[in-house]
Amino acid sequence: MPTTNELKERIESALPGSEANVEDLTGGGDHFRAEIVSERFAGLSRIEQHRLVYDVFGNEIGGPIHALSLKTTTPEGEQ
């Protein structure tokens, strides 16, 4: 079962320089919310920003990670 720390570390290592805050929405280890700040999101649409994060987990989304709610911003506060 994935933990919030594991998700945080995987996101931050896949997007160097990013900062991810991950919470377990239900306490059940399968519904997560991640708020991520990264330079990599600059100039990308929301869809593209979220795909970057979903791609970190591949088939685990919808599997062991039932839901991953995302909020993505750049350090300048752009969405």
For 6, residues 6+ apart whose C-beta sits below 8 A from its C-beta are none
For the bound state, the minimum distance from the C-beta of residue 58 to other proteins, rounded and expressed in Å, comes to 8
Please tell me the distance from the alpha carbon of residue 68 to that of residue 57, in angstroms, as a whole number. 10
**For residues 15-74, which are near other proteins according to CB under 8 A?**
46-47, 50-51, 54, 61-62, 67-71
Total residues at interface with other proteins (CB under 8 A): 13
For the bound state, the minimum distance from the C-beta of residue 29 to other proteins, rounded and expressed in Å, comes to 17
Would you call 19 helix, strand, or coil by DSSP?
strand
Largest CA distance in the chain: 35
Summarize as ranges the residues that interact with other proteins (CB under 8 A): 46-47, 50-51, 54, 61-62, 67-71, 79
